[in-house]
Every structure is written in C-alpha cells, then in structure tokens.
Amino acid sequence: MLEELIIYLLPLLWISPAYATNASPLFFSNIIKDRRALDLGKILWDGKRILGDGKTAEGTLFGLFTGLSYFTSLYYLSSSFNYNLYENFLEGPLIIMGAITGDLFGSFIKRRLGIERGEMLPIFDQTGFLIFAILFRSFAFGPLPYDIVIYLFLITFIVHVLTNLGAFKIGVKEKPF
C-alpha cells in the first residue's frame, strides 16, 4: 500500500518544480501591480501583441527564481535521504526553463489565434508548460517512459483546472481558468 502510494507520488514530486515555476507568477501579480509586459507592448504583423499583458518581466523572473529555489531545496533534501530523485542537478533548470518557455509559447500561439489575454485555450493552457518541461529535460536526458508522460499529463490537467478554480474562488484570479 505505502509502496504503491510512493510509486504514484514520485513522478509528481519529480515534476513539481514545473508547477512551482508556473503557479508563482500569479501570486506575485497579486502583490506587485506595477509590472512590465515581457513583449514591451510590441505588436506583430497580425495586429496582435507578441505575448500580451499576461506575461510580465517581473512575473517571469519570479517564476524562475521560485522554481529554482524550490528545485534546489528538493534536490538536496532528496539526496540527504540518499535518494536520487533527479539524474543530476541539470535536470531541474531544464524542467524550469521548459515550463517558462511552454507558458510563453502558449501565449504566443493564443495571440496568433486571436484569443485575448486571459481567455482560454483548452489543453494548452493547462498542460503546455508540462509538455515543454518534459521536452526540454528529454533533450538532455532521453525520453521518459510513455506511461509516466500520460500519467503526468492527466494529473496536471486535473490539478490545473482545480487549482485555477480555487484561485478564482478565493479572489486571486479574475477568471476560473
């Protein structure tokens, strides 16, 4: 029973730095209101913003900082239990950079599709950061077993929907998605 629980929890613990990276900018945006758009307000050939006001320099840096601090703690904590949760330290920065890139790429695609900032693009909104996090680490460390990828995809989708709904209910987020 305990062993089974651990088997299901370990992949989530492993990917959790991507969650920390993805979720933290929202909380930062609730504290610091004066932020700079990462795309500097620039508009592309289609008359739409490159990324839009939902991706800020401050939010992105805070995501990077939170993700890296969280990963570093997790990395050394797991090694202090003589457990190698990661292949080596490089895996974390790749997961984190992937998560940020996936989030920014998602906004880029949404703007090209004419979807306004804050409006929904199903699947990509919930899992784009995860897909890129897995892709980035897999360039260096080889593919993950496909059952783990599907498992992480499904759980992340559900967790993302529920946490966003929760953030909306407590007034941290303007939209429930």
Residues making contact with ligand CTP (CB under 6 A): 25-26, 29, 35, 52, 54-56, 59-60, 63, 103, 107, 110, 117-118
Minimum CB–partner distance for residue 141 and ligand CTP (Å)? 25
Does residue 169 sit in helix, strand or coil? helix
Minimum CB–partner distance for residue 136 and ligand CTP (Å)? 16
The residues facing 37 across adjacent strands are 56
| CA gap 143, 146 in Å, rounded | 8
Among 66, 37, 33, smallest CA distance to 49 is for 37
- Nearest CB to ligand CTP, comparing residues 75 and 164: 164
Contact 59, 46 (CB under 8 A): no
Contact partners, residue 164, CB within 8 Å, separation at least 6: 173, 175, 176, 177
The region that residue 97 occupies, defined by phi over 0 for left and psi between -120 and 50 for alpha, beta otherwise, is alpha
Contact 53, 37 (CB under 8 A): yes
- Nearest CB to ligand CTP, comparing residues 13 and 40: 40
Minimum CB–partner distance for residue 78 and ligand CTP (Å)? 27
- Nearest CB to ligand CTP, comparing residues 38 and 75: 38
Minimum CB–partner distance for residue 127 and ligand CTP (Å)? 12
- Nearest CB to ligand CTP, comparing residues 75 and 108: 108
- Nearest CB to ligand CTP, comparing residues 12 and 121: 121
| CA gap 11, 166 in Å, rounded | 23
Minimum CB–partner distance for residue 169 and ligand CTP (Å)? 15
